């Protein structure tokens, strides 16, 4: 821990709540009539639900689970999109000392089957006909004693579960939960192998909230417009618990961030005071705001106090646009294994491009001589469920978690350069960060949905480009270009020229120069979650994609061996 490569927060963490249930009980007693969550009703109006009703519904779920044999430590799955019922189910489960196992609402049957067999839940809540079918198709379905849904089936109905219950049951159960008891098993879908079950304790979750409360103020009755999925740590652990801890009302964004027009419609109704998102949505908001003064005034209303971004760097011009409109942009970095936040930038300090800030209270960071980022603190997971070997590799004997990210300590805190798995070398020995290149290619692009930088053991960096078909078809229509039957985007000269210009623009200032793309091919097929090419957070599963499109990669570097693809290779 010498030579300036160690850093920790100067702020002590202080006393934290004993458990998530303790924290929720305090809030319900303090704000009984305040809205914990609001959802769109049949009249397309936001309908708030009070903390008092929320806690009573939690008590009903906990009482039902206890009556059906669920005890402290039992795992209870939830397979649902963000909803009030999902919130009630998960908070009841963790408050009574059981363990919530959220499953990504868009997972295919194979992943659902894996998680249910691996987690072995004693109970499950399922919302949606297709999700119900996937659970019923799983070989684990018959082993789950308690099943609840809103759909017509033999399962218990959530409406009956919520039909009354005594608070005394959940109050007694809350008292028996300890800080180091498990609260969540978050299955994180890495870019290799099956999902990993990250075991998180009550102390992990509540320490995050206490640490962040020291450095930003989210006033009581703040309004969150929330689309980030709750199966994932950014939305489910960070944003959601920020709202619950501080008394902000969660307004469910019913397009799930996928429809910019609907998002702006919801934004106009809610007037969010803080907003949590990934860069793609911020870029879309800025694009619309620049083009339309009315939308500008909707987005940058006087009560918007700050925006929080994570998952990828926010482009410079986008961040400056927010700051020019007096809305600070806060950036954070972390992993599911760290509950999730490790570092953050502050509201009051000038943003340093590329810097992801200082550790939160109680956290330490060590950057090794090789640039590996290690961390430890009260937010660090207990380990990976049913995987001692992987846990031992991730957390060393001194308690340091090896994040798999590379970085350096600079003025203002930590700067992350790339994932260890994303690094490759060219024939001249130069190291290449595929993550940095891919971010440069895609973050601001309306034409490129995904891209993969390639070139391991080759003389230059190239790319596989997966176009945004919807936007390209709209562009062709505006240009009066008719796309013929059997259109092959990979050989279309107009599209090659369009994407070539896009890549030149996006990488004009990219450094170092040897990492700039020299050639690319357009793959005539999109990436999907179902085909095993994307994670639920839309990260590319690199190995699967490279295996599938090996011939396309070879065609770039050895075109004579692939004459059928020579017309597909574009030099820039």
Query: Which residues are CB-contacts of 123 (< 8 A; sequence separation ≥ 6)?
Result: 65, 68, 70, 74, 76, 77, 93, 98, 144, 145, 146, 147, 148
* Strand pairing class (75-79; 99-103): parallel
Q: What global pTM score does this model have?
A: 0.89
Residues 162-177: tens digit of each pLDDT: 987 789 999 999 999 9
Predicted pLDDT at 472: 87
C-alpha dist (Å) from residue 310 to 97, 113, 344, 407, 422: 30, 30, 10, 16, 18
Q: Give 433's strand partners.
A: 423
**439-452: average pLDDT:** 90
Any idea which of 12-21, 226-235, 343-352, 561-570 has the lowest mean pLDDT?
343-352
**26-36: average pLDDT:** 98
Predicted pLDDT at 445: 87
Domains defined for the chain, CATH in brackets: 17-33+48-178 (3.40.50.12780), 426-571 (3.30.300.30)
Q: How confident is the model at residue 193 (pLDDT cuts 50, 70, 90)?
A: low
Predicted pLDDT at 532: 84
Q: What is the DSSP string of 494-538?
A: HHHHHHHHHHHHHTTT-SSGGGS--EEEE-SS---TTTTSB-TT-
Q: Dihedral (C-alpha) 476, 482, 484, 490: value to the nearest 10 degrees?
A: -30
With 90 as the cut, is the pLDDT of residue 279 above it? no
How far is the C-alpha of 416 from the C-alpha of 410, rounded, in Å? 10
Predicted pLDDT at 316: 80
Q: Which of 444, 439, 506, 452 is nearest to 471 (CA)?
A: 444
How far is the C-alpha of 161 from the C-alpha of 140, rounded, in Å? 23
% pLDDT > 70, the chain: 98
Predicted pLDDT at 476: 85
Task: Give the pair of three-digit tokens for residue 483.
Answer: 């796309």
Cis peptide bond prior to 429, omega within 30° of 0: no
Task: Give the pair of three-digit tokens for residue 494.
Answer: 């107009």
With 90 as the cut, is the pLDDT of residue 190 above it? no
Q: Dihedral (C-alpha) 376, 382, 386, 391: value to the nearest 10 degrees?
A: 20
Any idea which of 86-90, 262-266, 370-374, 486-490 has the lowest mean pLDDT?
486-490
Q: How far is CA 25 from the centre of its chain?
A: 27
Any idea which of 242-256, 289-303, 519-533 has the lowest mean pLDDT?
519-533
How far is the C-alpha of 91 from the C-alpha of 106, rounded, in Å? 22
Predicted pLDDT at 163: 86
% pLDDT > 90, the chain: 74
- Decide: 455 and 461 in contact? Cβ < 8 Å: yes
Determine the Cα angle at 121 with ends 116 and 124, to 5°.
Answer: 90
Cβ neighbourhood burial of 532 (10 Å; 0-12, 13-18, 19+):
middle
Predicted pLDDT at 51: 98
With 60 as the cut, is the pLDDT of residue 191 above it? no
How far is the C-alpha of 68 from the C-alpha of 59, rounded, in Å? 14
Q: Which of 528, 392, 415 is nearest to 466 (CA)?
A: 528
Task: Determine what percent of the chain falls in helix, strand and coil, rounding each to the nearest 5.
Answer: 40, 25, 40
Give whichever of 33-42, 503-512, 521-530 has the largest mean pLDDT.
33-42
**376-393: average pLDDT:** 97
> Which position has the higher pLDDT, 478 or 402?
402
- Decide: 438 and 516 in contact? Cβ < 8 Å: no
Residues 508-540: tens digit of each pLDDT: 888 899 999 999 999 998 888 888 888 887 788
Q: How confident is the model at residue 1 (pLDDT cuts 50, 70, 90)?
A: very low
With 80 as the cut, is the pLDDT of residue 354 above it? no
Determine the Cα angle at 568 with ends 563 and 572, to 5°.
Answer: 125
* Strand pairing class (6-8; 35-40): unpaired
Predicted pLDDT at 412: 84
Predicted pLDDT at 63: 97
With 50 as the cut, is the pLDDT of residue 214 above it? yes
User: CA gyration radius for the chain?
Assistant: 24
State the chain's mean pLDDT as an integer.
92
Q: How confident is the model at residue 44 (pLDDT cuts 50, 70, 90)?
A: very high
Predicted pLDDT at 486: 67
With 60 as the cut, is the pLDDT of residue 89 above it? yes
Instruction: Give 141's DSSP letter.
Output: G
Predicted pLDDT at 2: 40
């Amino acid at each position: 821990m010498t030579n300036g490569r160690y850093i920790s927060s100067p702020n002590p963490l202080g006393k934290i709540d004993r458990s998530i249930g303790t924290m929720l009980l305090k809030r319900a007693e303090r704000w009984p009539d305040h809205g914990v969550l609001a959802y769109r009703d049949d009249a397309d109006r936001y309908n708030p639900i009070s903390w008092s009703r929320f806690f009573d519904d939690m008590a009903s779920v906990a009482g039902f689970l206890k009556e059906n044999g669920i005890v402290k430590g039992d795992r209870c799955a939830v397979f649902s999109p963000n909803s009030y019922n999902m919130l009630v189910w998960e908070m009841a489960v963790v408050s009574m000392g059981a363990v919530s196992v959220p499953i990504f609402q868009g997972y295919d049957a194979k992943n659902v089957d894996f998680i249910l067999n691996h987690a072995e839940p004693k109970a499950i809540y399922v919302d949606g006909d297709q999700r119900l079918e996937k659970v019923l198709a799983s070989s684990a379905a018959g082993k789950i004693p308690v099943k609840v849904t809103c759909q017509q089936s033999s399962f218990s109905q959530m409406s009956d579960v919520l039909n009354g219950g005594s608070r005394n049951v959940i109050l007694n159960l809350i008292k028996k939960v300890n800080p180091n008891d498990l609260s969540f098993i978050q299955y994180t879908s890495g870019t290799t192998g099956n999902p990993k079950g990250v075991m998180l304790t009550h102390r992990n979750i509540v320490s995050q909230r206490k640490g962040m409360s020291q450095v930003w103020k989210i006033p009581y009755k703040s309004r969150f417009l929330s689309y980030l999925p709750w199966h994932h740590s950014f939305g489910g652990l960070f944003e959601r618990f920020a709202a619950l801890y501080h008394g902000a009302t969660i307004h469910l964004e019913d397009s799930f961030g996928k429809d910019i027009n609907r998002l702006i419609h919801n934004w106009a109704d809610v007037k969010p005071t803080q907003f949590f998102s990934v860069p793609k949505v911020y870029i879309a908001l800025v694009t619309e705001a620049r083009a339309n003064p009315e939308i500008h005034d909707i987005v940058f209303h006087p009560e918007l106090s700050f925006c929080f971004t994570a998952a990828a760097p926010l482009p410079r011009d986008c961040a400056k646009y927010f700051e020019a409109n007096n809305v600070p942009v806060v950036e954070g970095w972390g992993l599911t294994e760290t509950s999730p936040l490790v570092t953050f930038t502050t509201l009051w300090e000038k943003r340093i491009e590329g810097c992801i800030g200082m550790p939160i209270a109680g956290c330490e960071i060590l950057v090794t001589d090789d640039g590996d980022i290690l961390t430890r603190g009260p937010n660090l997971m207990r380990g990976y469920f049913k995987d001692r070997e992987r846990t031992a590799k991730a957390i060393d004997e001194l308690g340091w978690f090896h994040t798999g990210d590379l970085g350096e300590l600079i003025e203002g805190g930590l700067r992350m350069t790339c994932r260890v798995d994303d690094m490759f070398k060219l024939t001249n020995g130069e190291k290449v960060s595929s993550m940095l290149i891919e971010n440069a290619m895609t973050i601001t692009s309306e034409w490129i949905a995904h891209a993969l930088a390639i070139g391991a053991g080759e003389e230059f960096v190239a790319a596989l480009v997966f176009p945004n078909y919807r936007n390209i078809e709209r562009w062709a229509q505006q240009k009066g270009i008719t796309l013929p039957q059997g259109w092959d985007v990979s050989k279309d000269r107009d599209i090659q020229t369009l994407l070539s210009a896009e890549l030149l623009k996006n990488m004009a200032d990219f450094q170092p120069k040897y990492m700039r793309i020299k050639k690319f091919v357009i793959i005539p097929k999109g990436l999907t979650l179902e085909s095993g090419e994307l994670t639920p957070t839309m990260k590319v599963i690199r190995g699967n994609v490279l295996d599938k499109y090996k011939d396309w990669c070879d065609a770039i570097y050895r075109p004579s061996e692939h004459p059928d693809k020579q017309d597909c290779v574009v030099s820039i």
